[in-house]
Chain A
Amino acid sequence: MERMKRIPEPMLEIADLSVRFAGKQVLESVNLDLYPGELVMAIGPSGSGKTTLLRAVNRLNEAYPHCNTRGQVRIRLADRWWDIYAPSTPLAELRLRVGMVFQHPNPLPFSIYKNVALPLRISLGMNPKETLLRVQRALEAVQLWSEVKDRLHDSALTLSGGQQQRLCLARVLALEPALLLLDEPTASLDFKATRHIEALFQTLKQRYPILAVTHNPGQMRRLADRVMVLQDGRCVAAMSRPEIEDPEHSRRVMEAFF
């Protein structure tokens, strides 16, 4: 069964990826394939290059100065392969298709509605009617609609941390991305909000391939289908689902590298 699932082509291919910031090596020769329907997690201590790995996929590393990326990252959109770093690849469009949720909830200081609607209107050029429908659907998908439907025009900053993070997830889902990048999305949330969001990811991975990073072994055990362990920018170990579920094995791996 495991084999059958792997037969489809991957959605994302990372080959020999190296990233440097101002001459300092942050990622070195990382390889990864991401298949439809799976959640792959990169785990590692702080400074191991996890976030840089995610940001290499939507070229967000370039928003920071002195970044140098080598290697290949390819994404399959509508049965066509795109080289993410090819000069001809439209950057804004690429980022629309690769949704990213950040470590800290980052709603813009607009209303709840506008946070989800603005990218739809600006980046996709949707009319107000379509936008309203799409916003509602996205907020329903993250189970936020019933909580905010009567105060859509309140500031997004009035929401709790967990709600803000679900709003940010809704903002990404509304754009109907091809895959999701999750950068420790529960790191700043309390226990209850964390479990709520984790349950969402369990359902979302049926629809979107997810590449996530975490430094939390518990979260890894709960969510990951596959794991890559990063240390000092290198992939030093990998685990499949049976290995993750084997407490003895995963403990040995974690102890070796943490």
Chain B
Amino acid sequence: MDGAKLMPHLLRAAALACTAAAGGILLVLIYLVLPLFTSGGWGSVIAWQWLPFQGRFGILPMVVGTLLIALGALAVATPLAVGVACFVQVLAPGRIKGICLALVHYMTSIPTVIYGFVSIFLLVPLIRQWFDRGTGFSLATATIVLSLLILPTIVLVLQATLRELDRSARVTCAALGFSRPAYIRHVLLPLCRRGLLAAVVLGFGRAVGDTLISLMLAGNAPMVPASPLDATRTLTAHIALVVATDSQSTFYHSVFAAGLILFLVMVLIQLILRRLGGTFTP
């Protein structure tokens, strides 16, 4: 009886703690960014040039870099993940299904630094050779590797949804003479929209938040890339670079602005995706 009484309080406390942590992060960020507002430095942060020694601290190129890499990775990983999840759930024979799932689980446990490291020796030279342009450290390189990083997240979340749908619809649809591809296309995929959306939101979160892959592979030039083979820099990599090299300058504060923007971009994208999901509801 006591346990049953205690449980709601414990759960409420846990929920409050999580909300308070997220709110606390936002407040601290705003507090740290505040000097930029008061000293009028905000204008120099929301700008297109990062030339710290000339007093230009624009971080907009990094915002663009972050969005390009994260959305690019999502664009590559989502169709792949849908294919993998449908194959694993519907088409693969038992043994192959097990192997595929084990592989996907294994992928989630690979540290990002390993992806970055292997890519420097494998993918970067290939990109350099194939396209014969630049150093190979580029938007494209980082996007490809980042899509590998977020692939298992999307696959696992989507497959959990598919598994539930499949359990209730498979035999019904088989009895109605649906071929398995028709079943995937006309029944499973239309019904898994919400699960797919949740998977994509999570994948996007990982993609925006990842630091090491873009730091190691994107080339880190603080500019808006003109082509996929140009170098670029993400907000996360930018924060890491600045914090590692400079903690004296007054415009060290621009790093906090980067953090705040990162935070707001995430919230915004989540809201947009949720709104999209809402309009899809049958």
Contact = CB atoms under 8 A, between A and B. Distances in A.
B171 A95 contact: no
Contacts of B177: 92-96, 119, 123, 175
Contact of B186 (A63, A92, A95, A122): A122
Given A60-B174, A108-B187, A118-B186, A92 B179 contact: yes
A48 B57 CA distance: 78
Interface residues of A, number: 24
B282 A155 contact: yes
A141 to B, nearest CB: 17
Interface string B133-174: 000000000000000000000000000000000001111111
A110 interface: yes
A23 interface: no
B175 interface: yes
A209 to B, nearest CB: 17
A123 B176 contact: yes
A94 B187 CA distance: 20
Given A118-B186, A122-B186, A123-B182, A108 B175 contact: no
B71 interface: no
Contacts of A65: 94
B161 to A, nearest CB: 13
Contacts of A119: 176-178
A231 interface: no
B172 A95 contact: no
Interface residues of B, number: 19
Contacts of A60: 171, 174-175
A122 B178 contact: yes
B76 interface: no
A123 B178 contact: yes
B191 interface: yes
A108 B94 contact: no
A171 B174 CA distance: 13
A55 to B, nearest CB: 9
A92 B178 contact: yes
Contacts of A111: 282
A19 to B, nearest CB: 16
B152 to A, nearest CB: 26
A3 B276 CA distance: 66
Contacts of B179: 92
Interface string A85-99: 000000011111000
Contacts of B168: 106
Nearest to A183: B175
A155 B94 CA distance: 34
B170 A63 contact: yes
Contact of B182 (A58, A95, A109, A122): A122
Interface centre among B170, B176, B182 (most CB of A within 10 A): B176
B175 A100 contact: yes
Contacts of A95: 174-177
Nearest to A100: B175
Contacts of A110: 190, 282
Interface in B184-206: 186-187, 190-191
B175 A109 contact: no
Contacts of A145: none
A102 interface: yes
A119 B174 CA distance: 11
Contacts of B172: 102, 106, 108
Nearest to B182: A122
A106 B165 CA distance: 12
Name the residue in B168, B173, B177 with the highest tally of chain A Cβ atoms < 10 Å from its Cβ. B177
Looking at B170, B172, B175, B282, which has the most chain A CB atoms within 10 Å of its CB? B175
A112 to B, nearest CB: 12
Contacts of A58: 175
A225 to B, nearest CB: 24
Contacts of B169: 108
Contacts of A109: 191
Interface in A87-145: 92-96, 100, 102, 106, 108-111, 118-119, 122-123
B116 to A, nearest CB: 41
Interface in A161-186: 171-172, 175
Nearest to A65: B94
A111 B190 CA distance: 13
Contacts of B94: 65
Nearest to A168: B172
Nearest to B187: A108
Interface of A: 58, 60, 63, 65, 92-96, 100, 102, 106, 108-111, 118-119, 122-123, 155, 171-172, 175
9 contacts: A58-B175, A60-B174, A60-B175, A95-B174, A95-B177, A102-B171, A108-B169, A119-B176, A119-B178
Given A65-B94, A96-B176, A102-B171, 12 more contacts: A60-B174, A63-B171, A93-B177, A95-B175, A102-B172, A108-B187, A108-B191, A110-B190, A122-B182, A122-B186, A171-B176, A175-B176
